[in-house]
Homo-oligomer: A and B are copies of this chain.
Amino acid sequence: MAVTIKDVAKIANVAPSTVSRVIANSPRISERTKEKVREAMKELGYHPNFNARSLANKSTKTLGLIMPNSATKTFQNPFFPEVIRGISTKAHQLEYGLYLSTGQSDDEIFEEVQDMVQGKRVDGIILLYSKVNDKVMNYLYNEKFPFSVIGRPYDVEMKEITYVNNDNFKAAKTVTEYLLLLGHERIAFIGGNLETVVTLDHMEGYKKALTNAGIEPKKEYVVFHEELQEGGQEAVIDLMSLSERPTALIVADDIMTFGVMRMLSEMEVRVPDDISIISFNNVMISELSSPPMTTVDINIFSLGYEAANCLIEKILNPETKPKHVIIPHKMIKRQTCQRIVKRLTKQ
């Protein structure tokens, strides 16, 4: 049997409650007894039992992380390790642990979240994705359970939710404007999952920039694909089959861009000579594409770090008003965008 608080108490010649107070570093305990108790703890190699503590405390000091359902390969995006690294860093500073969801389907995940919440397994929850009409988010909201979202809630009345996001609308708009300035007019947009809020925001920004420039967004120039790698490749096929090929591509995700570039090179379409590309995220490997891709750095680490920060704040002080943190983004110009060269364009 493991060593308990009682064992320590006996050795140190004090009451169990005193030991408990020493653990909590209560100021009402004399330095002398603290010393005595700490010695006893060290001597016995005492470590507090988490479950007992949580039970008595009603606090687990752990955060639940909810991933998108891992049945899809979404999870393989290097985006996730990086957000988690951000979350982990903050959590670790404040001595919180991390508990991971394992559900494969939306229903399973919902079940899991319920268990976590009602079973008091975690003190708060971070949603690592944000999609429209999310059952989990609604549940958490109704239960008034502390949580924060990476991305943003889609439904307007939900402004009472704490979230950490980029200004994805603006980012997409800027990026489109940039291509416009480079002389491109036939700009296509390759988006991810249409149920994802970020995709929607990107698309809005893209369209806004076009209409501002007096260009009517064309339906054929907007395609969506769920799967990251194959998606990028299929999108290219769709787009390159058009009679009027786009001269520039805005791609929702760097990994997708790898697929896009792969397929393009197979078709012997040169980047950026024949077509310009710009994408989002700036994950670690982005700079390693050939040529290195121009992309928008969304500061993934900070997204995670802040999400953890806001959440813990809310846990510690339930009165905290909902916060909306916008992490700044930054265009990273590398080598996949080029001023358009006018040549045998039919018209």
Residues of chain A having any CB pair with chain B under 8 Å: 2, 45-52, 54-55, 60, 62, 65, 70, 73, 75-78, 80-82, 84-85, 88-89, 91-92, 96-100, 102-104, 108, 114-115, 117-121, 228-229, 232, 255, 258-259, 261-262, 265, 283-285, 287-290, 292
Q: How many monomers of this protein are in the complex?
A: 2
Q: Which residues of B contact A265 (CB under 8 A)?
A: 290
**A65: shortest Cβ distance to chain B, in Å?**
8
Evaluate contact between B97 and A98: CB separation under 8 angstroms.
Answer: no
A73 CB contact (under 8 Å) in B60, B62, B108, B284: B284
Evaluate contact between A285 and B92: CB separation under 8 angstroms.
Answer: no
Residue from A45, A80, A228, A284 with most neighbouring chain B CB atoms (10 Å): A284
A88 to B258 CA separation, bound complex (whole angstroms): 27
Ordered by A's residue number, 25 sampled pairs between the chains whose C-beta atoms are within 8 Å are A45-B118, A46-B118, A47-B114, A47-B119, A50-B115, A50-B119, A50-B121, A51-B121, A73-B284, A75-B85, A78-B78, A84-B100, A92-B102, A92-B103, A92-B104, A97-B99, A98-B100, A232-B288, A258-B285, A261-B288, A261-B290, A262-B289, A262-B290, A285-B285, A289-B290
Q: A47-B114, A261-B290 are in contact. Are A120 and B2 (CB under 8 A)?
A: yes
**A318: shortest Cβ distance to chain B, in Å?**
15
A77 to B298 CA separation, bound complex (whole angstroms): 19
Closest B-chain residue to A258, C-beta based? B288
A49 CB contact (under 8 Å) in B50, B52, B119: B119
Q: Which residues of B contact A114 (CB under 8 A)?
A: 47
**A311: shortest Cβ distance to chain B, in Å?**
14
Q: A77-B81, A229-B288 are in contact. List 12 more A-B contacts (CB 8 A).
A: A2-B118, A50-B115, A51-B52, A70-B89, A76-B283, A81-B81, A88-B100, A89-B102, A229-B284, A229-B285, A232-B288, A262-B289
Evaluate contact between A259 and B284: CB separation under 8 angstroms.
Answer: no
What's the dominant secondary structure at chain A's contact region?
helix
8 A-B pairs with the lowest CB-CB distances in the bound complex, closest first: A47-B118, A258-B288, A92-B102, A98-B100, A51-B54, A50-B119, A88-B102, A51-B55
A261 to B115 CA separation, bound complex (whole angstroms): 47
Residue from A48, A49, A77, A287 with most neighbouring chain B CB atoms (10 Å): A49
Evaluate contact between A284 and B76: CB separation under 8 angstroms.
Answer: yes
Q: Which residues of B contact A77 (CB under 8 A)?
A: 81
Q: Which residues of B contact A91 (CB under 8 A)?
A: 102
A261 to B81 CA separation, bound complex (whole angstroms): 24
A261 to B258 CA separation, bound complex (whole angstroms): 14
A76 CB contact (under 8 Å) in B73, B85, B100: B85
Evaluate contact between A70 and B48: CB separation under 8 angstroms.
Answer: no
Evaluate contact between B50 and A52: CB separation under 8 angstroms.
Answer: no
**A95: shortest Cβ distance to chain B, in Å?**
9
Q: Which residues of B contact A48 (CB under 8 A)?
A: 119
A80 to B85 CA separation, bound complex (whole angstroms): 12
A173 to B290 CA separation, bound complex (whole angstroms): 29
Closest B-chain residue to A111, C-beta based? B47
Residue from A92, A255, A265 with most neighbouring chain B CB atoms (10 Å): A92
Q: Which residues of B contact A104 (CB under 8 A)?
A: 89, 92
Q: Which residues of B contact A99 (CB under 8 A)?
A: 62, 97-100
A83 to B7 CA separation, bound complex (whole angstroms): 40
